[in-house]
């Protein structure tokens, strides 16, 4: 913490001195040490500001006078070597490697956007010093955990992951690849960009400037005798079609797609002209993910939600009421949810956690009074078993397929957060912020 305060002070001094080199050095160091995912440099009418996205929430770091804003943006454009300093009317992109003052190697994906008050610069931070975590460490709990590991051990089919931005999709995808990465398999990836360099993976970088397209890559990849293929994102019909063909020719295909839930992926695939018979013949699992702020273990306390969020409690009980009773009982046991906590929740409307409540005038030394420290993953996994595939062939809507899965075994995002809230990992505020709740 003292180191971060030191760099914050140096950032303030460098702004006073209008030293753009020191501004960026200290800013990148603070971003990495604070575990920020993005840095926003924004101009307004009378001042400018810098914000960091930490644990999914934008937090203001500092404000500075507008007269040095253009020099800050121009300095970054020059250092990137990929942007034109004199072009201020059009958005520009750059990918830059840098080293922080704490000797950590990072990659930056930067974008400038013209606004009415000047250019805004956003930088996505990829900390290359962070190791890919083990798949077991990602909070993919019991039923979801068993389904995922079973499907990763199949020799073919498509495993799709879906999530919005800032959900750490690359972390889960690389963790899956690390689990599969053994000496007896050949893994080839097609990425845009290559965010983590992993030993024993054959990673290939997209190059649109020389027309190195997905079609060219896959034709070459299939001649490389692959067992497992990873496609960074399914964006259009061509990518979808070739991925399906690879799955039908005895390859395990991992990829991503941008939707809001596992069930809505069906609609997105059909909008790309994917037919139901092709989906059931090639898809085996779709996994959705969110990141929620984890409650601070140092200052959490019990709370009665009857007066605070009665509607949420009703929604939670309704969601669990749909679930198969034996599957529910098994999930509670395997997630180590104690009988006492479950009875508190069901009978007395009490959750074991809440945001920080000061017992004195002192601020919590762990979370700084925010009530949250670090983050926890929320997952839902829809497995395309024989019954679900039969339902998909009969029904055309994602809503009907999701309802069918929920009535049987599926742990969707809402159910996963209910279990995690009961077991003391997240708060009710995070539920409203991240999950679609039925009214």
Q: Is the peptide bond before 193 cis (omega within 30 degrees of 0)?
A: yes
Are residue 41 and residue 163 in the same domain, yes or no? no
Q: Which of 81, 111, 127 is the last residue in one of the domains?
A: 127
* 431 in a structural domain: no
Q: Are 231 and 271 in contact (CB under 8 A)?
A: no
* 417 in a structural domain: no
**Rounded mean pLDDT for each run of 10 residues along the chain, 439 residues in total:** 84 94 94 91 95 88 94 91 91 90 90 96 84 84 89 92 74 90 92 80 82 79 90 85 88 89 86 86 89 81 71 75 81 82 71 49 69 83 88 79 83 85 78 62
Are residue 83 and residue 181 in the same domain, yes or no? no
* 45 in a structural domain: yes
Q: Which position has the token pair 């089919």?
A: 157
DSSP-derived letter for residue 117 is T
Q: Which residues span the domain enclosing 266?
A: 135-293+376-409
* 429 in a structural domain: no
DSSP-derived letter for residue 371 is S
Order of strands across the sheet with 202-205?
202-205, 187-191, 228-231, 252-257, 157-162, 283-295, 372-383
Residue among 68, 65, 42, 43 nearest 53 (CA): 42
Q: Are 55 and 34 in contact (CB under 8 A)?
A: no
For residue 102, give the CATH number of its domain: 3.30.450.90
Q: Which of 106, 127, 148 is the last residue in one of the domains?
A: 127
Q: Which of 127, 145, 167 is the last residue in one of the domains?
A: 127
Are residue 121 and residue 168 in the same domain, yes or no? no
* 213 in a structural domain: yes
pTM of the predicted model as reported, rounded to 2 decimal places: 0.80
3-state secondary structure of 21: helix
Are residue 261 and residue 402 in the same domain, yes or no? yes
Look at residue 396 in the predicted model and tell me its pLDDT: 63
Distance, in Å, from the CA atom of 241 to the CA atom of 246, rounded to the nearest integer, reads 9
H/E element, 93: strand 92-99
Measured between alpha carbons, how far is residue 380 from residues 165, 304, 409 in Å?
17, 27, 11
Structural domain tally of the chain?
2
* 197 in a structural domain: yes
Are residue 191 and residue 279 in the same domain, yes or no? yes
E runs forming strands in 215-312: 228-231, 252-257, 283-295, 303-304
DSSP lists the bridge partners of residue 381 as 287
Are residue 51 and residue 104 in the same domain, yes or no? yes
Q: How many other C-beta atoms lie within 10 A of the C-beta of residue 108?
A: 19
Q: Is 81 left (phi over 0), alpha (psi -120 to 50) or beta?
A: left
Instruction: End-to-end CA distance of the chain: give it in Å, rounded.
Output: 42
* 388 in a structural domain: yes
Are residue 183 and residue 84 in the same domain, yes or no? no
Distance, in Å, from the CA atom of 161 to the CA atom of 373, rounded to the nearest integer, reads 26
Are residue 139 and residue 121 in the same domain, yes or no? no
DSSP-derived letter for residue 210 is G
3-state secondary structure of 406: helix
Are residue 229 and residue 201 in the same domain, yes or no? yes
């Amino acid at each position: 913490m003292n180191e971060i305060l030191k760099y914050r002070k140096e950032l303030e001094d460098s702004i006073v001195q209008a030293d753009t080199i020191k501004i960026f050095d200290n800013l990148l160091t603070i971003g990495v040490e604070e575990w920020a995912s993005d840095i926003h440099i924004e101009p307004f009418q009378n001042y400018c500001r810098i914000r960091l996205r930490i644990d999914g929430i934008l937090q203001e770091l500092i404000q500075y006078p507008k007269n040095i804003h253009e020099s800050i943006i121009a300095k970054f454009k020059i250092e990137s070597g990929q942007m034109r300093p004199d072009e201020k009317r059009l958005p520009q992109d750059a990918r830059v490697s840098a080293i922080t003052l704490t000797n950590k190697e990072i990659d930056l994906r930067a974008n400038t956007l013209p606004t009415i008050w000047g250019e805004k610069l956003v930088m996505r931070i990829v900390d290359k010093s962070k190791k890919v975590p083990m798949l077991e460490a990602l909070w993919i709990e019991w039923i979801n955990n068993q389904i995922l590991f079973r499907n990763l051990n199949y020799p073919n089919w498509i495993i799709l992951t879906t999530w919005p931005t800032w959900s750490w999709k690359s972390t889960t995808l690389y963790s899956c690849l690390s689990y599969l990465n053994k000496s007896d398999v050949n893994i080839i990836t097609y990425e845009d960009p290559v965010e983590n360099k992993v030993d024993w993976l054959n990673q290939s970088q997209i190059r649109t400037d020389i027309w190195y397209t997905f079609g060219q890559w896959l034709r070459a990849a299939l001649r490389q005798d692959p067992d497992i293929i990873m496609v960074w994102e399914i964006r259009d019909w061509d990518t979808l079609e070739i991925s399906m063909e690879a799955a039908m020719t005895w390859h395990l295909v991992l990829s991503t797609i941008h939707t809001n839930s596992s069930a809505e992926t069906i609609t997105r695939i059909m909008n790309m002209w994917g037919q139901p018979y092709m989906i059931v013949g090639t898809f085996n699992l779709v996994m959705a993910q969110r990141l929620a702020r984890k409650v601070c273990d140092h200052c959490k306390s019990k709370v009665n939600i009857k007066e605070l969020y009665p509607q949420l409690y009703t929604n939670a009980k309704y969601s669990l009421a749909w679930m198969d009773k034996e599957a529910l009982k098994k999930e509670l046991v395997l997630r180590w949810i104690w009988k006492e906590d479950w009875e508190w929740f069901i009978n007395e409307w009490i959750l074991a956690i809440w945001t920080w409540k000061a017992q004195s005038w002192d601020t919590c030394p762990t979370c700084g009074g925010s009530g949250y420290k670090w983050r926890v993953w929320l997952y839902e996994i829809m497995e395309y078993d024989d019954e679900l595939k039969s339902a998909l062939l009969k029904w055309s809507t994602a809503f009907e397929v999701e309802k069918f899965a929920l009535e049987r075994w599926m742990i969707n995002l809402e159910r996963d957060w209910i279990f995690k809230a009961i077991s003391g990992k997240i708060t009710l505020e995070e539920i409203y912020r991240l999950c679609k709740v039925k009214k």
